Amino acid sequence: MNLKSKLVAETFGTFWLVFGGCGSAVLAAMFLSGGDSPVNLGIGFVGVSLAFGLTVLTMAYAIGHISGCHLNPAVTIGLATGGRHPKSEVLPYIVAQVIGGIAGAGVLYLIASGKGGFSTEGGFASNGFGEHSPGGYSMTAAFVAEVVLTFFFLLIILGATDKRAPQGFAPIAIGLGLTLIHLIGIPVTNLSVNPARSTGPALFVGGWAVQQLWLFWVAPILGAVLAGVVYPILSGERES
């Protein structure tokens, strides 16, 4: 598959991840029905976690055979570290993913702003720590959470796509893995584990979201690199 096709696939795929995952948080996490006694029909943390998992699962089947369906700079770097992806394609992949993430956030903004009273002051699904953490978690807690959760997410990806693993089921394992880490991490940081996913919404929020964006690049990449080093040793790939 030529590089241009891979990059277009990564752009569309990352668009879908941000639009679907962040869209579920912005548009559907809390939804009050009308009337004198409104009822919350929103999907909550569980629904948002499932939405993120489903975006990756569906795109893995749609474009996995084209680009590998990384949709995430940390995943691309982690796979390259583990010898699963050409290092020459790392930077182009990251650029395509960031473009897709920004485009997904942009379309979401156009839709969300069509409702009266909309404001990005609610966070617009941006990632944050301290007073901008959903649960008020510190910068240290946020950093540790993002490193550890990205590390295990990459272990799942590397293991599920190992040639010795059952074939055809990797998207299911990866999608469910992303769902699980969202269930753990949303209260801490709104969960990133993906610099492109963090960058898109942050650019529309500005201010604190952009100022804190560094953590959601550094921590996921660190976790991914660690997994890229550990998994080949654990699985025996280094020896072979």
Q: How far is CA 226 from CA 77, 153, 185, 230, in A?
A: 10, 11, 19, 6
pTM equals 0.94
Per residue in 138-159, pLDDT (tens digit) is: 999 999 999 999 999 999 999 9
Average pLDDT over residues 22-26: 96
The pLDDT score that the predictor gives to residue 239 is 54
Residue 33 has pLDDT above 90, yes or no: no
Domain ranges within the chain, ordered by starting residue: 3-235
Per residue in 176-215, pLDDT (tens digit) is: 999 999 999 999 999 999 999 999 999 999 999 999 999 9
Query: How many CB atoms are closer than 10 A to CB 87?
Result: 11
For the domain made up of 3-235, give the CATH fold. Answer: Glycerol uptake facilitator protein (1.20.1080)
The pLDDT score that the predictor gives to residue 35 is 65
> With bands split at pLDDT 50, 70 and 90, how would you rate the model's confidence at 38?
confident
- Residue 16's contacts (CB-CB under 8 Å, 6 or more residues apart) are 55, 58, 59, 71, 104
> With bands split at pLDDT 50, 70 and 90, how would you rate the model's confidence at 137?
very high
Residue 235 has pLDDT above 90, yes or no: no
Residue type for position 94: I
The pLDDT score that the predictor gives to residue 149 is 98
- Stated length of the chain: 240
The pLDDT score that the predictor gives to residue 240 is 53
Per residue in 54-70, pLDDT (tens digit) is: 999 999 999 999 999 99
Residue 34 has pLDDT above 80, yes or no: no
